[in-house]
Structure 1
């Protein structure tokens, strides 16, 4: 079916704490992840990817190699360091060492816009992070936006890295893994369990993204 307008898919990671207190606690061991927005199913059948190949559409260099650029708008040194580490985990998950995710320096300068914006801000109640994918990209909706909670600088760095890497997974086309557990680790669980949370994609998750973008 032809797509006449952009589809907005909002992927929201919800936490077991509210944002009503200045320093939300991360003492609870499980954090729920849910999806709202378009109502499209996540992980149809046994697929790890979103329906219809939904993902952040890349640009291509002169040799036809894809790249997805991101711009860090958090303005926080700790967050920036964790974002870089989460990106590194993704880029080193492919055997070829292919650098699919690449940093952009500025917004609105000459040349194309970055593909992904990463920012902090107010999110819905109990939400740790959220990803909005505009698919396909249009002039009215040209960017994927990852937003992490305004309170995220107070989280342990491993929790923050897991959340950002998880949201990058959504931006790159992954849905949730419903049967993830400590016995079946996944970066993309429906529940984030602090006892066995992941900070990097699994082999299957990395291969699923590679197939979407045509990389080794």
Structure 2
């Protein structure tokens, strides 16, 4: 009676499969590395053959200016769209509370959010006093992002979470917008409140 050793056949086929996979992985990795090396050499040759004005151009400074421009555009969009979006979303959340007959509870989470925004702002300024002299109120941007992240999943909270948490975020966002308004008015106030003794130190300007 003949017996067939299936274990040896299974092991041999498994070894062949593993070897084939390893060969395929190695074959895929080597062309990719070769392509990256070719692209790197091509870019280096293009750079070496570039004229001197291209090489001496301040590319790092241009990249920093471009990134700063993108950041300014994002902040401008946030500044002009934040109030309409906040108003529309707040009305939607108030209508839900009115439907659930919990409209009388809205002032409580709003006050909590207002207080929390003040605490977060003061904490950020204490941790990094340099933020007071920054051109952009990054601490207020961070606080606004924090409350926005709390507000976005509002419909997915449990019952009481849908009623309370979005209005906590609304209170925090309202006070953050107020802080931002005061922040951007501050330089004008500082320029308008220059002491006269400072102005007297520039007689040439006074004589013009």
Computing the radius of gyration from Cα coordinates, the structure with the larger value is 2
> TM (normalized to structure 2)?
0.23
Higher strand fraction: Structure 1 or Structure 2?
1
TM-score when scaled to structure 1? 0.22
Higher helix share goes to which structure? 2
